[in-house]
Amino acid sequence: MHREFRIRALVKFLFWAVATTVVVAYAINTYRSGQMVRWYYYESKADGYAVNATSFQQATRESPVALIIGDFPDVSGLRAVRVTKGSRLPEGTNGVIDLATVKKADRVRIEDGRLVVAVPWEIKEAKGFKFRDGFTHKNIRTNPFSGLWNLVMVGLVGLCLGFLAEGFTDVIGLKFRKIDHSVGH
């Protein structure tokens, strides 16, 4: 009986260990190959300029940063690509500055055919906590499939980790009894 239990526990543990490894390795590979990022920065939600907002974080009103506007395959560095609503985003994009913001010419303006950024972020508040809110993630639409992918993956990871832990405690000989829920008054 004892030996039979141990063998079953070991099989259970090994099965879930393999399943966990496969699921986590697949998730990491999806991330490292850039697929996860491409799903995330998928298409533009507004007419505007696709940018890499990280590249001009240091800009200020006193020393603004100018981005070259052009039809580039990627927007790494100080580049901006004109996009329309629904169009696929170039590689390296992490935000879209919409035309309304550019027309306002307060934070961003067009100057000599270049996109000049003067206020790259503002302080905002969520749940009573302040944070820097820049152009990153603005006006971008994720691939709807990635929402489903996230949900399925988090479910799989949760299940695998849960049963892996249960298998582990079984292997080391800790079999938890079901609790007797008797109530006293």
Partner 1 sequence: MFEFLIAGVQAPWVLLVFTGFTVGIVGGFIGVGGGYMVTPALIVFGFPGYMASGIDMTHIAGKGIVSTVRHRQLGNVDWILALSMVAGTMFGVEEGIRLLGYFKRLGLSTAALLGASVLLMGTLFVYTLRETLRSHRRLTEMAKQGRALAREVSTSSLPRVFQGLPLAPLVRCRVARVIVSMWVIVLVGVVTGVLAGFLGVGGGFIRVPALVYIVGASTHIAVGTDLVEIVFSGAYGCLRHSIEGNVDFVAVLFMLSGAMFGAQFGSIATAFVRGPAIRYMLAFSLALATLGAGLPLVNLLMGGKLEWLTALSVIITLGQMVFLCLFILSLVYFAYRANRGRWVPDWAAPLLVHHVTTGP
Residues that bind partner 1 (CB under 8 A): 1-2, 5-6, 9, 24, 27-28, 31, 36-37, 40, 53-54, 94, 124-129, 131-133, 136-137, 140-142, 144, 146-148, 150-151, 153-155, 157-159, 161-166, 169, 173-185
Residue 110 vs 152, nearer CB to partner 1: 152
Edge-to-edge strand list for the sheet holding 95-98: 95-98, 48-51, 79-83, 65-69, 114-117, 108-111
Nearest approach, Cβ of residue 66 and partner 1 (Å): 21
Which tokens belong to 154?
A: 């988090």
Cα gap 152→156, rounded to integer Å: 6
Nearer to partner 1, 32 or 103 (CB): 32
102 phi and psi angles, rounded to 5 deg: -65, -40
CB of 112 to partner 1, least distance (A): 28
Q: Angle at CA 16, nearest 5°, toward 12 and 17?
A: 110
Beta bridge partners of residue 140, listed in sequence order: 44
Nearer to partner 1, 47 or 166 (CB): 166
Q: How far is the CB of 131 from partner 1 (least distance, A)?
A: 5
Instruction: In angstroms, give the least distance from the CB of 54 to partner 1.
Output: 6
Closest by CA to 152, choosing from 37, 30, 42, is 30
Q: Whole-angstrom Cα distance, residue 163 to residue 43?
A: 38
Which of residues 61 and 185 has its CB atom nearest to partner 1 in the complex?
185
CB of 60 to partner 1, least distance (A): 20
Q: Which is nearer to partner 1, 65 or 109 (CB)?
A: 65
Structure tokens at 77: 């560095």
Minimum Å distance from CB 100 to partner 1? 19
**Nearest Cα to Cα of residue 134 among 56, 69, 77:** 56
Nearer Cβ to partner 1 (78/159): 159
